[in-house]
Amino acid sequence: MAAFVARDATRPGWWIAGAVLVLAAWWGQPLIAPDHFERAFFGLFWYTMLALAAVFWALPSERRFTGSDFVRRTMLLGVLPVYTRSEPVSAYRQVVLETDPNVVGPDTLWVLVEGDGGRRFAFMHRRATRRGRERQLGLAKALAEASGLPFAGEVLDAG
């Protein structure tokens, strides 16, 4: 049985966001040694917002299908598990590929596992380029086959 794993920390966007945070911290250095109180306030605000962003950045998620469970783990820097939530396959009824329209750039494709009562497990998302659509469709079909759940096809999100 092949295990399916989707890690945010292995995606280029996660690394680029970390580099942007470092550059933003370096750029804000003049704000922490000001001559005026107003600049000190902006420096405090700037670094508080960067600290908050760094906390969110440092806790990427990982989604897995283990053969009997869907598992979501929050990982410290993508390495150390901090929080784990596991749900059995029996809690879900189908695998679906959902398109989420974007205002700028290609739409986003989500591989979702849906259950009764609106229960959903978002397994992975990608931009809806030709290559991204092919990869997401392949992942959705493979996940459906491995889990024994039916593949419901592609849905355009109305929201």
Q: What is the mean pLDDT of the chain?
A: 83
Domain boundaries, the chain: 1-79, 92-154
Mean of pLDDT values over 81-91 = 88
Q: What pLDDT was estimated at residue 78?
A: 82
For residue 36, report the phi and psi dihedrals to the nearest 5 degrees: -120, 150
pTM value is 0.72
Q: Which of these, 86, 85, 69, lies nearest to 147 by C-alpha position?
A: 69
Higher model confidence: residue 16 or residue 43? 16
Grade residue 1 by pLDDT with cuts at 50, 70 and 90. very low
Does pLDDT of 130 surpass 50? yes
Grade residue 110 by pLDDT with cuts at 50, 70 and 90. confident
Neighbours of 124 (CB within 10 A): 20
* Structure confidence by residue, pLDDT tens digits, 18-76: 999 999 988 887 777 666 666 667 778 888 999 999 999 999 988 888 888 888 898 99
List 73's β-bridge partners, or say none: 62, 84
Does pLDDT of 156 surpass 70? no
Q: What pLDDT was estimated at residue 21?
A: 94
CA separation for the pair 136, 132 (Å, rounded): 6
How far separated are the first and last CA of the chain, in Å rounded?
Answer: 36
